A and B are shown apart, each in its own frame.
Chain A
Amino acid sequence: MKNRFINYIFLGFVATGMAACSDYLNILPKGQKIPLTYADFEPLLRDEPGVHHTRTTQATILLNDRFVNASSLSYYRLWDANYFWREDVDRKELNNTDEDTYYQSYASIASCNLIIENGEEITECTEQQRAELVATARVIRAFNYFILANYYAAAYDANTANDKKAVPLILSADVGAPHVQVDIAQLYAFMIDELETALADLPAIGLTVLHPGKGAAQALLARIYLQMGNYPLALQHADKALLVNNRLFDWLAYYELNKTRIDEPTDYTLKETPMNHSYVENYYFRHGNDASTYRTAEYNLRLDRIDRFEDGDAKFIARWKLRTVGPDTYYASMMTGYHNLQGLTTVEVYLIKAESLARTGQVDEAMEVLNAVRKTRILADKYEDLRTSDPVQAIKWIQRTKQNELIFSIVPFADSRRLNQEEIYRSTMTKTEEGTIYSLTPDSHLWIMPIPFGAIKNPGNGIIEQNVEK
């Protein structure tokens, strides 16, 4: 018996030893995976906080669009510098807390790079699905570069675009991937090239509103060409985008539906925003508010900012209401939900088209396009067609509407920088607060945001230079 027992024991030993070599250790931890298939990769583009969220906080603050209370200004010194247009302040030094725009954009780029890089190896999908997914990622990547270029680098100017640095161009998601801080011309060329490449593989409308389709790609091309001052091409792409979607949301109808609540000055019940994922104007949805993972109200408006809205603007009346809390008075946001503040919408394309028309001598047509937009915004009793044959006046009107329509996105900032390059449109902003007069000139260095300290200090595999001194 003893011997038999010993035999069993040795068998046991052998079995244990075998287990070590066999599949015993090959079970994978659950809850995560190593992405291989289309079904593993595609969801990366549905990650809203990671891929589809950009705040352009400092741009909005510099433009004095947003109401910021005194304690926030006292707490965030970079906000204070931009809000009061303090040219003497070294924003580079302060920009170690407000790294958002840069970090978020490059995080989104990294996810796109991952898909573009692995595109060939993605399994369990059709050739078309694979090409489409890669093309979608290219559009989102280009979109991020547009924001970065218009926030951290000088405005596009054909004369200097080859001399001035833009932002680092990184094309791989690998750890230690190299990047080059290309010049502005190169970056714009890259974006255009990417979008053109992508267009071949994109469906007219993406898989979801988070997946840019042809319409979004065309809209972005229109935005880029406009920024470059290439109006004919901007017009061309705007038209192509409108072929995919040309619907405008009927804010008048919205107003009618919510009239009682909107018109009651003390009713602060928050309404659902219609500008959400299913907004009819969407080509592409992108969060721009503070939050992308939870529903929240929009930013509040500065009291003086409302002067630049047209009388009877239903979109404005529905979105903000006068409110006083203690000593602070401002226009409080009356909408909650997820807001497409930073994405691509038909209204932007309409307004790009309008400006391109005006720029190319078709002022009447431009006004027609502008009025088409206004008709869905301005309450009937206040509405009047705007008519002019002066392209400058036309563009100023178009800009007024555009600055309001796309408030809190990169566009008003990008447009201001673009127009500041033209003598006829440039203007100095001024304001008076507590008796002090502040002004922001069109040539101020404040129009370029410093690259965050964290990115400069920890550059990875490449060299990053600041594009602004302070």
Chain B
Amino acid sequence: MNYKKSRAINLKWVTPLLLSIILFSSHSIGQISVKARQVNAKRILNDIEQQSNYRFVYDESSIQFPLVNVELTNASIEHALSILFANTDIAYKIVKKNILLKNINQSASPVVSINNQEDVPQRYTYTGNVQNEEGTALAGASVRLKNTDIVTSTDESGHFMLESETQKGIIQISFVGYETIEVSAKIQMGAIVLPMLASEISEVTVNVNTGYQTISKERATGAFGSLPKESLEQQRLSDLNTLLEGRIAGYHDGRIRGTTSMNGVTSPLFVVDGFPIETSAIQFNGNVEEALPNLNLEDIESITVLRDAAAASIYGARAANGVVVIVTKKGKAQGTEVNASAVVTHTPYYYNTSRITSSADIIGIEREWAMRNPQLDTLSAAGANSWLNQMIYPTRGIQTILQRYAGKISESEMNSLLDEMANSGYRYFDDVERYGKRNPFAQQYNVNIANGSEKNRFYASATYKKNLLEDIYSKDDNLGINLRNTMQISNWLSVELSSFLTYGHANQQTYNLLSPQFTYMSYDGLKNADGSNYISTEESWLSLQTRDIIRTNNLYNMDIDPLKEMANNIQQERRFGNRSYIKLNVKFADWISYTGSFQYEFTRNKGETLYDKNSFYVRNRVNGFAREIDGQLKYLIPYGHIFATNEQNNNSYIFRQQVDINRSFGEDHSLNAIVGTEIRNNHFTRTNQTSHNYDPMVLTYDMLAPGIGSGGGVLGTYAQFDQRTDVYGIFDQVRRYVSLYANAGYAYRDTYLLSGSVRYDRSNLWGTSSKYQNKPIWSLGVGWNVDREDFFDVDWVDQLKIRTSYGIGGNIAQDVSPYLTTYYSSNPNVGGISGTVSSRPNPLLSWEKTTTINVGADFNILNNRIMGSIDYYRKKGEDLLASAQGIPTEGFGYSTYDLNNGGMTNHGIETTLGATVLRKDDFSWNMNVLHAYNKNKVTYVDVEAPVYFLQIDYPNAFPRIGNPYQAIYGYAWAGLDADGMPQVYNEIGEKLTSTPSTLESVVYAGSTVPTHTFSWTNSLTYKNFDFSIMMTYQTGHKIRNSDLPYLGGTSRFANILIVNKDIAHRWTKPGDEEHTDIPRLVFPEEDLYNAQSENIYRNANINVLDARNLNIRNMSLAYRIPGSCLAKFHIPAARIQMNAENVALFAKSKNAKNMLGGYRRPNYVFGLYLTL
């Protein structure tokens, strides 16, 4: 009888069992690693859940978990379970992603025990279906009649049936990963929806990957920030920077925790799949620029940012700026999955004319010029003619006025012409939009395939991107192909191979309609009335004298046809790159393994521009190098096509060997450690080559005339000539590093954690003498998992860890040297080679050191509804390379040199919070809030700007102690004087209308880096709809307004410009100075004019604007197409999504908004994502 009953119950297991057999076919290879001695098996279940996609389902009251000894490394789930439950009373079954547990010995199940009470006359049967919010049945959910032993679990279709003798009761339903809910018992309960736990929505990265090792977050003592996983879905994967901004506290503007170096690199180190990627590029002039790594962003599995010393110091001499660790997808544990996506982005073209002077404004100013210019009163017709001929006023408005003075037109003709111009609004910009721009359009397609079997995991992806840019001849496309394979060759050897290939092509328009090389005003246009192209003829922009030189010397014509020029001289670039690695993992024993890895990276960029001989560029260049030698005109650059090419080749390799130790001692002690060596080689080369009078068909070119150099020829205009770009230039850089490192973490009862790391780096760079290279970079960290303490019994706290770390990180400046070094170039005037001292002996140079102390806590509270972390840090940079002003008498008055004597601190607080705000029925609302406070302060420098204006122009070369490093300096604004002229205070508080030429009069006007950055992301889900919005708010920083309502200029003649429209609110009459700060209009032709006015106005602190801003960066709306619609297409999942990027920016003032780039149109993104 008992038997019978129990069989009936067991029937519920049959279907899942059958299913599980089908699904058993391919389970994962090595993914579970657990080491424990005498640990409650329940805790191991947690570990397995964390490391796999499986959930355990069991009834807590019926299962007694024993203490077990387990040591598993990269075991499959079946293997793990068989080991775990080998000598226990627990039986397990795998049903889809659920592992159902049951106690074998307890022959009588709780349900059975109820059934013992056969004599109970009345029995009630409660039935229902348990499902999640998406309507998917939850198999194996535990269903219990509250306060009784009556319990069952749902079957494969989520159905349950429960029998009871009471008519009333509460049904408790629980399922791992979901909230436990209670509902009153009814006979027919229908569908019961279990809401997901908050922790499942806001992703918890359980493991942190440092690039060298993966450790469980619970064991980590450092400050790690992880990219919330859903953010990868919520936004377009267009570039790495936008992916991180606003998603990781402390990451701002490409920097982690502020600026830590004055002269060294300030960008974080990027690590992809364990290898540091240094995507440097050599610029045309030989300067090296750091860039972000190239990868298919769809392949990103996780991004971890290492912020403090404990986290990052393992990267040694490059760790001070933080490290961004990117892990890409490895492939599926079992079976095959194919994902495909197509994303298109439309950005309406927008040029913000609302802030600039219109045609009418400019004509108004030009008329005012005429009215106020005293010289016009006595100007003769001949005089006016000669002004016109000299082209001293290149704008059409003034030229029209002068034509009247020259007697060429009557006053009424002049006025009607001016009126016509005044009525043309923003004609030039309208024409630019109509004829020279388009709405940028971007396409991005990705397909990825993941396949896994017992011995092998394979992942492949291809991303193709194509961008049509704003300029109609500019576009680029890129194909990235990523392959990755992990093979378990034997039980002790596994091999991972990966290769990423990228191929790209870009066209870049070189002629810019917004700086067309002739002066234009809003009233000018690009098409004539008859529809033909507007041509800026020689007559319209060159003086008669210059035209005479062109004519008498038979130089090439200098007309400019802007719309035709656009199509000329398109710069073409091709890129090809490959990054491949092999990793070999050998397991000597369960607790020790060896990994040897080697990565080789190669990229090649080739740029080509064929400057057409008809283009203005070529004509102007050839004319510019025309000289008269011995009474003969000679073109030093021969007329013809100019073919400029450049090629960059970067090779780098890394070879790393590492031993991993992972061992537990007794019940309470566990140790994990790595020790390894690394050698790194980066080799960059670049060549530039230019051929003149190049014939692309016959492939011939001409030599240049000897003695060619920069400067003036017959025209007297300056022409730039640089042998390294105009003939041939070569740049070659090799950086080599050898490093030795070790890291160890010790945990006592998984409660008390201690970790430390140490690293030695040596390089071939001149930047450091070996004496200083031998100093190790090290860190120490401690952590305390408070929630594991027996005494800790706070209901609402689910997890709490307190941690602190201390350590140093290094930083390298690549271009300094302890020795006297010189560089050379050829001397075109006397022949031979000319040499220049590039650095003076500086024997005390060493690597920069940044000491970081970090105190932080990680917590999950309120039933995992709120989780987060908070960190306080203090980064103290010592021995920073600071500039010291060269001593003039020693001959270095113009230059600064670098000394390791700078000091700078950054301290701040970072808070990350994720919360489930609301969860009800089909609706859920999650929120992520980030806040980062960073305060940067220069604590020591031994340099002072030698001249006041250098303090303003180069604040970073001359930081002031006590101020932030990224500072703006300016003059203290003293308002307008009674004539409407700008005034500033000097150091003793006097109002001046001229430049106060002392350093003391230059005052600090704020930092360019926000002290507070907030980010607020809301994710709402209703049925199949997901909506998200991400906003950032930054405050505490300033921006200099360079878009002034002021003409200025230091020229002798009126400098008519397209300026800020606020010029309309300028000072016009005495008394206005009370309510406006916009200076009067004053032309150089007037006596009152002061050439220094512009300088003081431009640099006054009144034009340093509050830059606080609220930025709606991203909004997304996704619709997950229900499975029922997709079934007939055999598509497991599909999602369509719409995004708007850069939705809106709110700033304190219009000018601030303008400077912050807030006037723009959003990008509209449409995406289709399929899982096949």
Residues of chain B with a CB closer than 8 A to A27's CB: 734, 736, 764
Interface string of B706-744 (1 = CB under 8 A from A): 000111111110101000000000011110101010000
Asked if A361 is at the interface of the complex by the 8 Å CB criterion, the answer is no
**Residues of A47-74 whose CB lies within 8 A of B:** 47-48, 50, 69-72, 74
Chain B residues with CB under 8 Å of A103's CB are: 888, 893-894
Q: Which of A12, A43, A325 contacts B835 (CB 8 A)?
A: A43
**List of B residues within 8 angstroms of A70 by Cβ:** 1052, 1084
Let me know if B677 is at the binding interface, CB within 8 A: yes
Find chain A residues with CB under 8 A from B833 CB: 43, 46
Complex-state Cα separation, A421 to B459, whole angstroms: 91
**Interface residue tally for chain A (C-beta within 8 Å):** 101
Q: How far is the CA of A109 from the CA of B890 in the complex (A)?
A: 8
Q: Does B704 contact A (CB under 8 A)?
A: no
In the complex, the answer to whether A455 meets B711 with C-beta atoms within 8 Å is no
- Is A212 on the interface with B (CB-CB < 8 A)? no
In the complex, A296→B885 CA distance in Å? Answer: 30
Q: Would you call B888 and A458 a contact (CB within 8 A)? A: yes
Question: Which residues from 807 to 858 on chain B have a C-beta closer than 8 Å to any C-beta of chain A?
Answer: 817, 819-824, 827, 829-838, 840-842
Do residues A32 and B823 form an inter-chain contact, with CB atoms below 8 A?
A: yes
A326 touches B390 (CB 8 A): yes
Contact B997 A267 (CB under 8 A): no
* CB of A276 to closest CB in B, whole Å: 8
Instruction: Given A43-B824, A71-B1084, answer yes or no on A31-B891 (Cβ-Cβ < 8 Å).
Output: no
Given A106-B891, A208-B830, decide whether A93 and B822 contact each other with a Cβ distance below 8 A: no
A102, closest chain B residue (CB) = B888
Q: Are A270 and B997 in contact (CB under 8 A)?
A: no
Q: Which of A9, A94, A296 contacts B596 (CB 8 A)?
A: A9
**Interface of chain A, main secondary structure:** mixed
Q: In the complex, A336 Cα to B712 Cα: how many Å? A: 6
Q: Which residues of A contact B994 (CB under 8 A)?
A: 77
A94 to B1092 Cα, complex, angstroms: 14
Is there an interface contact between A111 and B837, defined as CB atoms closer than 8 Å?
Answer: yes
Q: Could you tell me the distance between the alpha carbons of A452 and B887 in the complex, rounded to whole angstroms?
A: 12
Which residue of chain B lies nearest to A338 when distances are taken between CB atoms in the complex? B829
Distance, CA A41 to CA B836, complexed state (A): 9
Check B497 for interface membership: any CB of A closer than 8 A: no
Look across to chain B and name the residue whose beta carbon is closest to the beta carbon of A328: B1052
B-chain residues with CB within 8 Å of residue A111 when the two chains form the complex: 837, 891
Q: Find out whether the CB atom of B836 lies under 8 angstroms from the CB atom of A44.
A: yes
B835 contact set on A, CB distance < 8 A = 35, 40-44, 46-47
Answer whether A458 and B736 are a contact pair too, CB < 8 Å, given A44-B836, A74-B1092, A93-B997. Answer: no
Q: Is A2 an interface residue (CB 8 A)?
A: yes
Task: Establish whether residues B1092 and A34, one from each chain, have CB atoms under 8 Å apart when the complex forms.
Answer: no
Instruction: Say yes or no for A125: interface residue by CB 8 A criterion.
Output: no
With contact pairs A29-B766, A99-B893 given, residues A455 and B714 touching in the complex (Cβ less than 8 Å): no
A50 to B891, CA, bound (A): 10
- A269 at interface by CB-CB < 8 Å: yes
**Complex formed: what's the CA distance from A13 to B677 in Å?**
8
> Is A159 at the interface (CB under 8 A from chain B)?
no
A39→B631 CA distance, assembly (Å): 38
A349 at the interface (CB under 8 A from B): no
Select which of A26, A71, A106, A269 is within 8 A of B1091 by beta carbon. Answer: A71
Task: Write the B1070-1109 contact mask toward A (1 if CB under 8 angstroms, else 0).
Answer: 0000000000000011000111100000000000000000
Cβ-defined contact, A31 with B947, below 8 A: no
How far is it, in angstroms, between the C-alpha of A118 and the C-alpha of B587 when the chains are bound?
60
Shortest distance between the CB of B613 and any CB in chain A (Å): 24
Q: Is the CB of A267 within 8 A of B1051?
A: no
* Residue in contact with A110 in the complex, picked from B738, B892, B1084, CB distance below 8 Å: B892
**In the complex, per-residue mask of B903-924: 1 if CB is within 8 Å of any chain A CB, else 0:** 0000000000000000000000
In the bound complex, CA of A2 to CA of B732 (Å): 43
Q: From residue 62 to 105 of chain A, which have CB atoms closer than 8 A to chain B?
A: 69-72, 74-75, 77, 93-94, 96-97, 99, 102-103
Q: C-beta contact mask, A270-302 vs B, less than 8 Å → 1, else 0?
A: 111000110000000100000101111100000
With a CB–CB cut-off of 8 A, which chain A residues contact B766?
28-29
Interface residues of A in 313-339 (CB under 8 A from B): 324-328, 336-338
Kindly specify which of A172-180, A188-196, A393-401, A403-411 makes contact with the partner chain.
Answer: A172-180
| Selected contact of A71 from candidates B594, B834, B1051, CB within 8 Å | B1051
Instruction: List the A side residues contacting B1091 at CB < 8 Å.
Output: 71-72, 74-75
A257 within 8 A of B: yes
CB distance from A12 to the nearest CB of B (A): 6
Q: Mark contacts of A163-200 with chain B using CB atoms, 8 A cut-off: 1 yes-contact digit, 0 otherwise.
A: 00000101001111101000000000000000000000
Look across to chain A and name the residue whose beta carbon is closest to the beta carbon of B822. A35
The interface size bin for chain B is 35 or more
Interface string of B763-806 (1 = CB under 8 A from A): 11110000000000000000000000000000000000000000
Contact of B17 with A by CB under 8 A:
no
Whether the pair A19, B823 counts as a contact (CB closer than 8 A) is no
B679 near A24 (CB under 8 angstroms)? yes
Residue of A25, A113, A176, A269 with highest tally of chain B CB at under 10 A? A269
**Known A46-B833, A209-B830, A268-B545: A326·B712 in contact at CB below 8 Å:** no
Query: Is A271's CB under 8 angstroms from B628's CB?
Result: yes
Whether the Cβ atoms of A325 and B390 lie closer than 8 Å is: yes
B1111 within 8 A of A: no
| Complex Cα spacing A19 to B995, Å | 59
A20 interface hit (Cβ, 8 Å): yes
Are A173 and B891 interface neighbours, CB within 8 A?
A: yes
Query: Does any Cβ of A come within 8 Å of B627's Cβ?
Result: yes
How far is B946's CA from A99's CA once the two chains are assembled, in angstroms? 10
Q: Which of the residues B549, B655, B997 comes within 8 Å of A269, measured between beta carbons?
A: B549
Known: A69-B1052, A71-B1084, A96-B948. A106 touches B893 (CB 8 A): yes
Q: A35-B835, A455-B888 are in contact. Are A77 and B588 (CB under 8 A)?
A: no
Provide the bound-state CA to CA distance between A46 and B709, in Å: 16
Q: Is there contact, CB below 8 Å, between A32 and B821?
A: yes
CB-CB under 8 A from A142, the residues of chain B are: none
Cβ-neighbour of A270 out of B630, B715, B817, B891 (below 8 A)? B715
Report A381 CB to chain B, min CB distance, Å.
22
Known: A96-B948, A336-B712. A108 touches B834 (CB 8 A): no
User: Is B998 an interface residue, CB under 8 A from the partner?
Assistant: yes
Given A13-B677, A31-B823, A269-B552, A99 and B888 contact (CB-CB distance below 8 Å): yes
- In the bound assembly, the distance between CA atoms of A210 and B827 in angstroms comes to 11
B1055 CB to closest chain A CB (Å) equals 10
Interface string of B869-907 (1 = CB under 8 A from A): 000000000000000010111111110000000000000
Give the distance in Å from the alpha carbon of A462 to the alpha carbon of B1091 in the complex. Answer: 38
Judge if B350 is at the interface, Cβ distance under 8 Å. Answer: no
- The distance in angstroms between the C-alpha atoms of A383 and B733, with both chains bound, is 63
Do A175 and B841 have beta carbons less than 8 Å apart? Answer: yes
Complex Cα gap A93–B887 (Å) = 19
Residues on the A chain within 8 Å of B492, using CB: 2
Residue of B nearest to A260 (CB): B631
B822 to A296, Cβ gap below 8 A?
A: no
B954 at the interface (CB under 8 A from A): no
CA of A47 to CA of B825, assembled, Å: 9
Known pairs A35-B822, A454-B885 / 20 extra A-B pairs, C-beta < 8 Å: A20-B762, A29-B766, A34-B820, A42-B835, A44-B837, A46-B834, A46-B835, A48-B834, A50-B836, A69-B1052, A72-B1050, A74-B1092, A96-B947, A107-B891, A113-B891, A175-B890, A325-B392, A454-B946, A458-B885, A458-B888
Q: Which residues of A contact B (CB under 8 A)?
A: 2, 5-6, 9, 12-13, 16-17, 19-20, 24-35, 40-44, 46-48, 50, 69-72, 74-75, 77, 93-94, 96-97, 99, 102-103, 106-111, 113-114, 168, 170, 173-177, 179, 208-210, 257-258, 261, 266-272, 276-277, 285, 291, 293-297, 324-328, 336-338, 452-455, 457-460, 462, 464
In the complex, 16 of the A-B residue pairs with CB atoms within 8 angstroms, ordered by the A residue number, are A16-B655, A16-B677, A20-B738, A20-B762, A24-B764, A27-B764, A29-B734, A43-B835, A77-B995, A102-B888, A106-B888, A106-B889, A107-B893, A270-B716, A324-B390, A325-B1052
